[in-house]
Chain A
Amino acid sequence: MPGKLKAKIVAGRHLPVMDRASDLTDAFVEVKFGNTTFKTDVYPKCLNPQWNSEWFKFEVDDEDLQDEPLQITVLDHDTYSANDAIGKVYIDIDPLLCSEAASVISGWFPIYDTIHGIRGEINVLVKVDLFNDLNRFRQSSCGVKFFCTTSIPLCYRAAMVHGFVEELVVNEDPEYQWIDRIRTPRASNEARQRLISLMSGELQRKIGLKVLEMGGNAVVGYLQCFDLEGESGIVVRAIGTACTLDKLSAGANANAYTHPNTAPASNACNSPSKDSKESPLAHGCRSTHNSPVHSTCSAQRLSQNFSVSVPTLIFAGMGSGGSVGKEAGPLKMLLRQQTQTALEQREFPFFTLTCFPPGFLVHVGGVVSARSVKLLDRIHNPDEPETRDAWWEEIRQEIKSHAKALGCHAVVGYSESTSICEEVCILSAAGTAAILNPRYMREGCLDIGSGDHSCGFCHIPYDELNMPFPAQLTYCYQCRRQKVPDVLFTTIDLPTEAAVSGKGCLIQARLCRLKKKAQGEVNATSISNLLPFMEYELHTQLMNKLKLRSMNALFGLRIQISIGENMLLGLASATGVYLSALPTPGGIQIAGKASGDLSNEQHVLSIQKRINDAMAKNKEMYHINPPELSEEAAGSPIPEPKQRSRLFRSQSESSDELSELDLSHGKKDAFVLEIDDTDAVEDIHSLLTDAPPPAGFYSCNTEVMPGVYNWTSGLQMFTSVRVLRLSNANLTNQSLNKIFTDMCENLLKSLYFKLRSMIPCCLCHVNFTVAVPEDELIQVAVTAVAMSFDKEPILEKLGDRANEDQLQFPMELCAESASVAISNLTAKFTATSVDYGSFADRCSTWLELIRLKAHTIRRGSVKTISSSERCSPLPEGRSRSLRSTRSSGGGGGGTAVTVVKMTPLSFLPGTRLIKYLGIINMFFIRETTSLREEGGVSGFLHTFIAEVFAMVRAHVAALGGNAVVSYSMKECVFMENPNKNQAQCLINVSGDAVVFVRDTDQEATPTLIHTSCGGTDGPT
């Protein structure tokens, strides 16, 4: 009997009126765990009942503790008829199983009903007593920590990164069971909610077991998704990166590496030149398969288990020719060998992380992705996970081989997704091929900062003489020693050490393709035929838009392809930046199809002018001023035949046309757009219609905006959903594209307008998801966080830079002699104690490094950082949850609700995360049969999203937390039937519950960590 779960029902408040006669409610509560149920007494005639129940005790296996949620049902007692359910609360007790996380769950939870939404609140106390488990063959994995965050969590240090873990569980969907015909929608929704909750628990437990097997103690970058396959069932699958994490010692507010928001990468790159060489342009995409018609053979082969493998594209920086710098060559070989041994033991050297400790990432190859179209009604054993396992296995193998083709041994920033329409399912996987530092695969090596140049990751990992695709290479504009491609696409966040010129911006490519309605294999084949073209088009759009902004790299690239009955939607989002190490991008050249036609030529000229103007404007807007490079410093240009290629829109390539085009664009090389067909016109059009964000706004889809550092604590996380109904029956691809593009643009405009009070502000982690919920509907959902920042006064900026330079110095020293560094640093502390707060974070990072090197550092010398304020040692969240436990009086009690911040990022600016309380993974269904009365579809969804936020906040507050980081809404399935006045929506959200303290409350840290380590929850 390895665990005892205890629950106490304290009180309720704001209950709905269940008895029309008395306008009151006779409420009681059922507490259920597994198959055991307890009941409280009926608290008669009251809307704010005080049950103050005894402790209900459940003696259970820890396996059940992990799988099952605690289920609390509030009911209205009825003497003559059946008791009416008011609503339910599901509490995931997983955070209590981890000694470091929360020790008690206590607080007000919204009582949720799938038909009526939130109906009052209930105050609950939950505790778990775990006994030591001596069983070696246990099925549970209690104690393994889970993080949604895709970097090493801020108050931990990665002792070792073990690698990829994945798991998948399948079950029948209750909505498709025979019994669903006779039960109420409420019962069906609740069965589904409960099932998914159980399945996620089971999944997490199984992944935990794998982690323990690997010798790890945590999963970072945990990504759990569910696929509603319909008839064939519900699949819950998850991937993550197994790690061994060490908690950083008390008082150390350092993250193992500097966060980009506190440490601006130095812009001082060695001095690249814009006009020193004539590197030919390149278009950066190639399909690794020869043609998209790969499916014909598979269609014959797989009559039972239909599967189409879709040719995959590798996006990468391109280059060609040249030879390796002498000193770099052997090193690279050595490195490769080492990594190989470390990584080759792994089946899939994949990492779901997007942000790494410095030095972890050696080289980045480019984006690798694979997609495959499957038919769900051909699964042999729908209830068994084997078939899906095999599908994913196949895709992962493909990704692995793509990475190999790029000369890489690992894939970072890896993610998987699906899109389902009826019986067709697209499985997609994407990541960034990379070479990792082998040292990080061994125990205890993760803290050494790399002495490498900040440009290291840009250098090509593949062999120049044996290029995986045609590409243009130049010598790195920073170190001048190694080759870099002219463009780099990745799915990861911008590495902290990267040198960037100016700011970044959100770049989106949007695409709609019509397809005929079809069934089964025909449908699947036509989809798989369309996919490569879509990827190609999206890639072209991205490339054009990147060039238009005078940028040369994309980070956080995420391509989503969504299927509907009669169309495919593609949306690619990424953050464009100008990497100082990469060459300046050339211009965009417009070419007409035929010379001689005067009006046409003028048209071409006018477009050309508009494009040039737009580029100049963008350069200014994003502050892109790469330092000029003197001729000799540029090093020898790579000898290269002056060749030019262009982007052909038509399938056929005619080389004789080449001579007619003037491709020069100033002295630089140009990217050519030929307007010889409607597609291209449309392209150019969309290129120029993308409105820049209004003044004072920036946007990106990565963790932080390159070039913006001084965040204030003002932040606003939001979710916005739009659904568009296409009325016109005979739409063309072009008009559909325009509609879709306008929809996305308008949505962004609306967001800017709504958040105008936060200017200057940056929308970070802008995450678009598209779906085709019905024939004529397009749904776009966005979740992002708006963060305001201070406009930096120039003087302060200079001062900051100076400080940093000084700090950099001791840091480099510390590797050799810690004592020097300490004295150096201490001296600095005393000298600049005045405005310490501003860069305390950064200092503490260096401090941490030093502390790990030499334990001789004395507290006294560190003390200077903190202004000795001890006023409020408890963070808001904790103090509140304690208070609420006591003053559980409820009713109109004056206890204020804890403010819970939410953000899709892994950090909160101006704060330190001192404790991770566990993962939040919640799934809700809401249904209505009175759509009009609830304010139509918008009113319905608005309420539901607000309710989901409220429930997430309540759970976090009950765990004693005051924020959710790495929050994401992974699913938002909305279905409506206005004629029947009905609608249904499913939402799945996840994130990490945390406790943060403001940077200004320095002293709070030791006190609090001490308290929590002791396992007691009393206030200090």
Chain B
Amino acid sequence: MAVELDVFVGNTTIMDEEVYQLWLDGYTVNDAVKVRMVSEGMEEYEASAEVVMSDTMDQYRTFQMCERLLHNPTKLANQLLFQIPPHRQAMLIERYYTFDDVFVREVLGKKLSKGTKKDLDDVSSKTGITLKSCRRQFDNFKRVFKVVEELKGPLVENIRQNFILSDKLARDYAAIVFFANNRFETGKRKLQYLTFQDFAFCAGQLIKNWTVGAVDNMVEDMDVDLDKEFLQDLKELKILITDKDLLDQHKSLVCTALRGKTKVYTEMETNFKNLSRGLVNIAAKLTNTKDVRDFFIDLVEKFIEPCRSDRWASADMRLYLTHYTNSAHLLDTFKYQVVWDRYMGVIKSCIFKMYPQMSTFSTPLSGIIDQRFVHVKRDFGPLGRLSIFL
């Protein structure tokens, strides 16, 4: 004797938020039933496993039927199959597109291709997020990417309108799309301490200031591609490090301004040329796609790490960068003030965001060992992973 068929259909589609979350998290029906049986309030209804099982199956079926519509959220509002009150629709969409920060950190900046999708089982075992959930999140990224890729107008607004997401979530997706498009490297061990939200902030800065959209808001891909002209112009900044006079002048201006105001004055003074070269070289190389990808790693290696090893506090760093930027305006022979501001504005806010707090940065970056493992990983592919754990 077995239940052959068991369905429940309401005129208003009944959806339990708790079960929805379990479904989104990729639980199987059986696992979901186990979780529900021990959750609060169940004994109140004297719910037997059988009843909970029936309910869970039913809900899962409903979600599966809805999933097609969730892929195209604008359809959800004017489809006729399910009668769902508007606030529930919003909840369904928002939850469906919500992602785990741990997961997105793993794929941020990677190409949203089939290859990456194949590696999701690794991501799943590493993050503890079920493969099903990983796939959903990955497919969401890919879907949003595909839809907005070809659209004109501001990126965040496009995402919000096409997927009916909240402002916050739309911004996060804009960051993901931006990272995926420019393939920024975020997976290196040195960048591991940065959260998705750190990167999302930086992405916001880059989109706002460095893309085509920052100057013209009616072109395709305006918020996704960096402004080529601007990148070309950045080469001109090299004069700050190649012209010895200019470099010295810049240094003395900064030193004058900072003397007595910071505890790490001497370290700053000795390192000035190094740091300045670092930042300007990053700017000059951004015309190469490869170097664009390494933008964040460069920021860490060329600026953050040296500062950290000299034990600069955040305040010191902030003070330094502010004066470093402003002093350039006082250089008579430096003519690229506009480009400089556009460049340094973003660099400043990115570094401010990325500069680690003392506590999160207990040991100096264990660069050498990590590098080796990363190389191992790169050379031997999947086997490399094993060596990390060994």
B75 is an interface residue with CB less than 8 A from chain A: yes
Interface residues of A (CB under 8 A from B): 13-14, 108, 110, 118, 121, 694, 716-728, 739, 746, 749-756, 777, 779, 892-897, 899-902, 935, 937-939, 941-943, 945-947, 949-950, 953-954, 974
A405 CB to nearest B CB, Å? 43
B14 is an interface residue with CB less than 8 A from chain A: yes
B86 is an interface residue with CB less than 8 A from chain A: yes
**A694–B44 alpha-carbon span in the complex (Å):** 9
Residues from chain A with Cβ under 8 Å of B74 in the complex: 892
B83 is an interface residue with CB less than 8 A from chain A: yes
B2 is an interface residue with CB less than 8 A from chain A: yes
**A943–B8 alpha-carbon span in the complex (Å):** 10
Do B80 and A938 have beta carbons less than 8 Å apart?
A: no
Q: Which of B9, B54, B75 contacts A718 (CB 8 A)?
A: B9
**A560–B351 alpha-carbon span in the complex (Å):** 77
Q: Which of A118, A728, A750, A937 contacts B81 (CB 8 A)?
A: A118
Do B79 and A746 have beta carbons less than 8 Å apart?
A: no
Question: Can you report 21 residue pairs joining A to B where beta carbons are below 8 Å apart?
Answer: A14-B79, A121-B80, A716-B12, A717-B11, A718-B10, A719-B9, A721-B5, A721-B6, A722-B7, A723-B6, A724-B1, A724-B4, A726-B1, A739-B1, A779-B5, A895-B78, A899-B85, A942-B58, A942-B65, A946-B82, A974-B5
Residues from chain A with Cβ under 8 Å of B78 in the complex: 13, 108, 892-897
A205 CB to nearest B CB, Å? 30
Q: Which of A753, A892, A935, A943 contacts B47 (CB 8 A)?
A: A753
For the complex with contacts A753-B45, A897-B77, A974-B5, 13 further pairs of A-B residues with Cβ separation under 8 Å are: A14-B79, A717-B11, A721-B7, A723-B3, A727-B2, A755-B14, A892-B75, A895-B78, A939-B61, A942-B7, A946-B82, A950-B82, A954-B80
Do B6 and A722 have beta carbons less than 8 Å apart?
A: yes
Q: Which of A14, A716, A723, A892 contacts B5 (CB 8 A)?
A: A723
Residues from chain A with Cβ under 8 Å of B7 in the complex: 720-722, 938, 941-942, 945
Residues from chain B with Cβ under 8 Å of A727 in the complex: 1-2
Residues from chain B with Cβ under 8 Å of A725 in the complex: 1-4
**A723–B1 alpha-carbon span in the complex (Å):** 10
Do A722 and B61 have beta carbons less than 8 Å apart?
A: no
Indicate the member of A13, A725, A896, A938 with the most B CB atoms within 10 Å: A938
Are A754 and B45 also in contact (CB < 8 A) when A725-B2, A726-B1, A939-B61 are? no
Which 5 pairs, one residue from A and one from B, show the smallest C-beta to C-beta distance?
A723-B5, A945-B9, A718-B10, A723-B4, A717-B11
**A459–B54 alpha-carbon span in the complex (Å):** 47
A95 CB to nearest B CB, Å? 19
B51 CB to nearest A CB, Å? 5
Within 8 A of A (CB), among B55-112: 55, 57-58, 61-62, 64-65, 74-75, 77-83, 85-86
Residues from chain A with Cβ under 8 Å of B6 in the complex: 721-723, 938
Are A947 and B77 also in contact (CB < 8 A) when A717-B10, A718-B11, A937-B4 are? no
**A900–B54 alpha-carbon span in the complex (Å):** 27
Q: Which of B10, B61, B83 contacts A953 (CB 8 A)?
A: B83
Are A749 and B12 also in contact (CB < 8 A) when A118-B81, A938-B7 are? no
Q: Mark B1-28, 1 if CB is under 8 A from A, else 0.
A: 1111111111111100000000000000
**A943–B5 alpha-carbon span in the complex (Å):** 13
**A942–B77 alpha-carbon span in the complex (Å):** 21
B300 is an interface residue with CB less than 8 A from chain A: no
Do A108 and B9 have beta carbons less than 8 Å apart?
A: no
**A895–B77 alpha-carbon span in the complex (Å):** 8
B127 is an interface residue with CB less than 8 A from chain A: no
A549 CB to nearest B CB, Å? 20
Do A108 and B2 have beta carbons less than 8 Å apart?
A: no
Residues from chain A with Cβ under 8 Å of B11 in the complex: 716-718, 900-902, 949, 953
Are A899 and B5 also in contact (CB < 8 A) when A935-B64, A942-B61 are? no
A894 CB to nearest B CB, Å? 7
**A121–B74 alpha-carbon span in the complex (Å):** 15
Indicate the member of B1, B12, B14, B54 with the most A CB atoms within 10 Å: B1
Do A750 and B8 have beta carbons less than 8 Å apart?
A: yes
A-B interface pairs (CB < 8 A), number? 139
**A900–B82 alpha-carbon span in the complex (Å):** 11
**A945–B61 alpha-carbon span in the complex (Å):** 13
Do B9 and A949 have beta carbons less than 8 Å apart?
A: yes
Residues from chain A with Cβ under 8 Å of B58 in the complex: 754, 942
A621 CB to nearest B CB, Å? 15
**A935–B57 alpha-carbon span in the complex (Å):** 11
B52 is an interface residue with CB less than 8 A from chain A: yes
**A750–B62 alpha-carbon span in the complex (Å):** 16
B46 is an interface residue with CB less than 8 A from chain A: yes
Do A746 and B55 have beta carbons less than 8 Å apart?
A: no
Indicate the member of A750, A935, A941 with the most B CB atoms within 10 Å: A750
B289 is an interface residue with CB less than 8 A from chain A: no
B49 CB to nearest A CB, Å? 12
Residues from chain B with Cβ under 8 Å of A946 in the complex: 9, 13, 65, 81-82
B50 is an interface residue with CB less than 8 A from chain A: yes
A177 CB to nearest B CB, Å? 30
Are A694 and B45 also in contact (CB < 8 A) when A720-B8, A724-B3, A892-B74 are? yes
A91 CB to nearest B CB, Å? 15
Do B80 and A897 have beta carbons less than 8 Å apart?
A: yes
B48 is an interface residue with CB less than 8 A from chain A: yes
Residues from chain B with Cβ under 8 Å of A941 in the complex: 5, 7
Indicate the member of B9, B12, B13, B55 with the most A CB atoms within 10 Å: B9
Are A750 and B55 also in contact (CB < 8 A) when A896-B86, A945-B7, A946-B81 are? yes
| Chain A residue nearest to B50 in the complex (CB) | A746
Residues from chain B with Cβ under 8 Å of A947 in the complex: 81
Are A108 and B3 also in contact (CB < 8 A) when A750-B55, A754-B55, A942-B9 are? no
B191 CB to nearest A CB, Å? 39
**A946–B58 alpha-carbon span in the complex (Å):** 13
Do B65 and A750 have beta carbons less than 8 Å apart?
A: no
B237 CB to nearest A CB, Å? 46
B41 CB to nearest A CB, Å? 9
**A718–B14 alpha-carbon span in the complex (Å):** 10
Do B81 and A746 have beta carbons less than 8 Å apart?
A: no
Do B5 and A935 have beta carbons less than 8 Å apart?
A: no
**A894–B48 alpha-carbon span in the complex (Å):** 43
Residues from chain B with Cβ under 8 Å of A746 in the complex: 50-51
A32 CB to nearest B CB, Å? 23
B42 CB to nearest A CB, Å? 9
Do B80 and A108 have beta carbons less than 8 Å apart?
A: yes
Do B45 and A720 have beta carbons less than 8 Å apart?
A: no
| Chain A residue nearest to B64 in the complex (CB) | A935
**A23–B378 alpha-carbon span in the complex (Å):** 40
**A722–B55 alpha-carbon span in the complex (Å):** 13
A885 CB to nearest B CB, Å? 15
B38 CB to nearest A CB, Å? 16
B44 CB to nearest A CB, Å? 8
Do B4 and A749 have beta carbons less than 8 Å apart?
A: no
A1011 CB to nearest B CB, Å? 26
**A938–B2 alpha-carbon span in the complex (Å):** 13
Do A753 and B1 have beta carbons less than 8 Å apart?
A: no
Residues from chain B with Cβ under 8 Å of A937 in the complex: 4-5
A939 CB to nearest B CB, Å? 6
Do A716 and B14 have beta carbons less than 8 Å apart?
A: yes
Residues from chain A with Cβ under 8 Å of B14 in the complex: 716, 718, 754-755
**A476–B122 alpha-carbon span in the complex (Å):** 80
B3 CB to nearest A CB, Å? 6
Do B80 and A118 have beta carbons less than 8 Å apart?
A: yes
B307 CB to nearest A CB, Å? 50
Are A110 and B61 also in contact (CB < 8 A) when A721-B7, A726-B1, A739-B1 are? no
Do B10 and A894 have beta carbons less than 8 Å apart?
A: no
Indicate the member of B3, B5, B50, B61 with the most A CB atoms within 10 Å: B5
Residues from chain A with Cβ under 8 Å of B48 in the complex: 749
**A779–B1 alpha-carbon span in the complex (Å):** 13
Are A943 and B3 also in contact (CB < 8 A) when A694-B45, A893-B78 are? no
